[in-house]
Amino acid sequence: MSGIEGRVALVTGGSRGIGAAVARTLAAQGADIAINYHANREAAEAVAAEVRALGRKAGIYQADVTIEADCAAMAAAVAGDLGPVGILVNNAGVGSVSEGQPPIATMSDDQLQRLLNAHVFGPLHLCRLLMPAMRELGRGDVIMVSSVAAQGYGPRMGVYAIAKAGMEAMAYTLAKEERQHGIRVNVVAPGLVETDMGKLLMSFTRGVGDMRQLDANMPFGFVCQPEDIANAIAFLCSDEGRYITNQRLTVNGGGF
């Protein structure tokens, strides 16, 4: 797909799972990649090596996206190393299992705040920091990686669904505000994906240790792979997606 070559993409949570797949996919289509990671430097370095093997520039940037000062330092470093960010993929997140999936009636403020920090305030920090330079590029793309949890609203998923719904509300509003500057803002909402987070969720909720046990009951006979999400994101950022903004693309095989 055209429209990605030569652009700079910042992928949060880019050291593994969906983020790593996004980094590889955008690099294969010609983007230089800023890989954000929180703790796993070795994994981030491995993804950067894959990007460079594709002939593109790559940098790794340690930052806790919930901390605005970390985001500011990362944004400045990326601009200095690679240039202005034209594609922002807000992928870093925290799963519901990390808080034990509390029911709404017993959920603590702290439990909800931790997920709001990751899924709302992290993307908000980066949008505020990167938007001024992105407006000058002619085209910009912001992708919020949400979840079908903000559509299904299942029991014990409230702490996660509330945070992801907030992320989506921010995306839809931002899309309308920034369209005049050539910036597209879209949401990609995965269902179950074979990532560390997905495996942890299945272990916690179903006692499943091997994702292959789930394939037969999944749409099309397999659990969604990180590359399936990455391909959807790349489409939205390409010339083929140039007239798409303020939309949610659900990638879950047609049902959750």
- Rounded to an integer, what distance in angstroms lies between the CA atom of residue 248 and that of residue 102? 27
Q: Is 256 contained in some domain?
A: no
Structure confidence at residue 256 as a pLDDT band (50, 70, 90): low
Does residue 184 contact residue 175 with C-beta atoms inside 8 Å? yes
- The CATH number of whichever domain residue 85 belongs to comes to 3.40.50.720
Beta-carbon contacts of 48 under 8 Å, excluding residues fewer than 6 positions away, are: 33, 35, 58, 59, 60
Q: Is 3 contained in some domain?
A: no
Q: What is the reported pLDDT for 204?
A: 87
Structure confidence at residue 98 as a pLDDT band (50, 70, 90): confident
Q: Is 204 contained in some domain?
A: no
pLDDT digits (tens, 9 = 90+) for 15-74: 999 999 999 999 999 999 999 999 999 999 999 999 999 999 999 999 999 999 999 999
The sign one gets for the Cα dihedral 84, 8, 251, 63 is negative
Q: Is 133 contained in some domain?
A: yes
172 is catalytic: no
Q: What is the reported pLDDT for 201?
A: 87
Provide the domain count of the chain.
Answer: 1
Task: Give yes or no for residue 152 having a pLDDT over 80.
Answer: yes
Q: Is 113 contained in some domain?
A: yes
pLDDT digits (tens, 9 = 90+) for 99-115: 999 999 999 999 999 99
In percent, the amount of the chain with pLDDT more than 90 equals 91
> pTM here?
0.96
Helices assigned H by DSSP within the chain: 17-28, 41-53, 68-81, 109-116, 122-134, 149-152, 158-178, 196-206, 226-237
Catalytic residue among 37, 61, 160, 243: 160
Range of the domain at 64: 8-191+232-250
Which residue do the tokens 């922002």 mark?
88
